[in-house]
């Protein structure tokens, strides 16, 4: 029988590199023989989630939790299942994981965990283990906040619970950029725009610092000939929270910040369709904001209702430039949509990009053409080499 640990390690590596379909292919032949394996069921449930199979993920994670009701063999399954279920039942599952994490944290702080136990979990010291625990606690807190802000938003204690949870997160990790992103989201829902913008800016500052440090660490390890795989994974994992932060920036009308965030995402991966959509949307909304006075619209009219066709008539050079940038950005997105990568894209985003691009006059043809190498020799008689269908 194939070693279960090696299977799980291989699957985790595939999930970390956004290959959930391949991860599921590896797990599928071993499902029957691991029906009662908590570790296997946990990674299977996570993989099913990444493949958007919520129903099967729910069944698998429920069984894993039933086999390990006190989270002795891992807490992730409780966090995942809680997010799937939502509501008060979901919070109960998440809290089982959080309580276990807090218990482990207390043991670490009191030096009650042996070196052997640390090594069995692949940690070199208490600090590494504590860092992991804090990250997981924050994951549980953020999931709980999401439930209070959605499923339970009408409950009388919803606002106080969100404030309580975010304060806990700020206390245990005051330099976590995702915590301030969550704080911005909470303040948006509370209609406290100045506080939301302040949290947004602070979050972005911390994200920039983290991104720079990871780049420096990676360069240092590469120079020394060391493996920087884990740093690379942490670098890639910045993408999703940065996408989220850029959406908050759009909502708060901080269009320059949104654009700056997206451009940094492109440093990490320049094939993220959502990023192109958000960047082009930011340019268009900023152009609409500038056009409000030029079009002599009433002050109570929302500038976001201005159409692109109205903008196209503007003689304002800055507005023209913003529309040009938006069209160029959408043309880059158009290339992705018309490639094999489109299978991984959200159909709704694809539709929105196509609509915006059509309103702006379609893709820029010159940017769709393959770039010529300056050293390539052009055959002046190329026309003579074309053979028609009639010949």
Q: Give buried/exposed letters for 202-240 (b at 16+ CB in 10 A, else e).
A: bbbebbeebbeebeeebeebeeeeeebeebbebbeebbe
DSSP string, 16-62: HTT-HHHHHHHHGGGSGGGTT-HHHHHHHHHHHHHTT-HHHHHHHHH
pLDDT at 15: 86
Say whether pTM exceeds 0.85.
yes
Contacts of residue 142, defined as CB under 8 A and 6 or more positions apart, other chains included, come to: 169, 178, 182
The DSSP letter of residue 269 is: -
Kindly report the three-state secondary structure assignment for every residue of 138-163: HHHHHHHHHHHHCCCCCCCCHHHHHH
d(CA 9, CA 5): 6
Mapped to the 3 state alphabet, what secondary structure does 199-227 carry?
A: HHHHHHHHHHHHHHHHHHHHHHHHHCCCC
What pLDDT tens digit does each residue of the chain (391 aa) get?
A: 458 888 998 998 888 777 899 999 999 999 999 999 999 999 999 999 999 999 999 999 999 999 999 999 999 999 999 999 999 999 999 999 999 999 999 998 888 888 888 888 888 888 889 999 999 999 999 999 999 999 999 999 999 999 999 999 999 999 999 999 999 999 999 999 999 999 999 999 999 999 999 999 889 888 887 777 788 888 989 999 999 999 999 999 999 999 999 999 999 999 999 999 999 999 999 999 999 877 777 767 889 999 999 999 899 999 999 999 999 999 999 999 998 888 778 899 999 999 999 999 999 998 887 766 555 554 555 445 444 444 4
* H-only helix segments in the chain: 4-16, 20-27, 38-50, 54-67, 76-85, 87-109, 115-120, 126-149, 158-172, 177-189, 193-223, 229-236, 239-251, 255-268, 273-294, 308-312, 317-337, 347-359, 365-368
User: By three-state DSSP, how is residue 1 classified?
Assistant: coil
pLDDT at 385: 46
Cβ contacts of 37 within 8 Å, gap of 6 or more = 4
d(CA 168, CA 177): 14
Tokens (6 digits) for 157: 């204690």
Please tell me the distance from the alpha carbon of residue 181 to that of residue 106, in angstroms, as a whole number: 27
User: Residue 153 has which token pair?
Assistant: 């938003």
Query: 169 and 105 in contact (C-beta within 8 Å)?
Result: no
Residue 324 token pair? 């040009």
Structure tokens at 195: 């506080």
What residue ranges do the domains of the chain occupy? 271-366
CA distances from 67 to 64, 71, 252 (A): 5, 9, 45
Are 242 and 264 within 8 A, CB to CB? Answer: yes
- For 207, the token pair is 């994200």
């Amino acid at each position: 029988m194939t070693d279960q640990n090696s299977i799980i390690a291989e699957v985790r590596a595939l999930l970390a590199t956004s290959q959930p379909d391949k991860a599921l292919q590896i797990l599928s032949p071993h499902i029957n023989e691991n029906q009662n394996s908590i570790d296997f069921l946990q990674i299977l449930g996570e993989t099913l989630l990444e493949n958007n199979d919520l129903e099967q993920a729910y069944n698998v994670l429920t069984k894993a939790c039933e086999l390990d009701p006190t989270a002795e063999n891992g807490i992730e399954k409780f966090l995942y299942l809680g997010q799937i279920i939502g509501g008060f039942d979901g919070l109960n599952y998440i809290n089982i994981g959080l309580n276990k994490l807090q218990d482990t944290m207390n043991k670490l702080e009191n030096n009650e965990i042996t070196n052997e136990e640390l090594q069995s979990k692949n940690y070199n010291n208490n600090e590494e283990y504590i860092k992991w625990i804090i990250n997981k606690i924050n994951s549980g807190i953020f999931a709980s906040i999401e439930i209070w802000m959605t499923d339970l938003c009408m409950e009388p204690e919803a606002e106080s619970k969100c404030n309580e949870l975010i304060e806990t997160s700020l206390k245990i990790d005051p330099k976590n950029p995702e915590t301030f992103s969550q704080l911005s989201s909470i303040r948006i829902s509370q209609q406290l725009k100045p506080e939301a913008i302040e949290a947004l800016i602070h979050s972005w500052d911390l994200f920039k610092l983290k991104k720079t440090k990871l780049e420096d660490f990676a360069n240092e390890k590469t120079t020394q000939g060391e493996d920087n795989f884990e740093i690379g994974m942490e670098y890639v994992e910045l993408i999703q929270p940065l996408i989220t932060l850029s959406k908050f920036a759009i909502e708060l009308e901080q269009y320059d910040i949104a654009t700056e965030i997206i451009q940094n995402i492109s440093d990490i991966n320049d094939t993220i369709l959502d990023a192109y959509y958000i960047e082009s949307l930011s340019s268009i909304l900023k152009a609409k904001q500038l056009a409000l006075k030029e079009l002599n619209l009433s002050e109570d009219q929302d500038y976001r209702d201005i159409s692109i066709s109205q903008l196209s008539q503007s003689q304002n050079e800055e507005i023209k430039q913003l529309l040009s940038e938006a069209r160029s950005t959408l043309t880059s997105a158009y290339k992705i949509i018309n490639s094999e990568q489109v299978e991984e894209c959200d159909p709704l985003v694809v539709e929105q990009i196509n609509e915006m691009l059509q309103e702006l006059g379609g893709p820029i043809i010159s940017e769709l053409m393959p770039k010529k190498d300056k050293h390539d020799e052009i055959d002046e008689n190329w026309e003579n080499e074309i053979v028609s269908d009639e010949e």
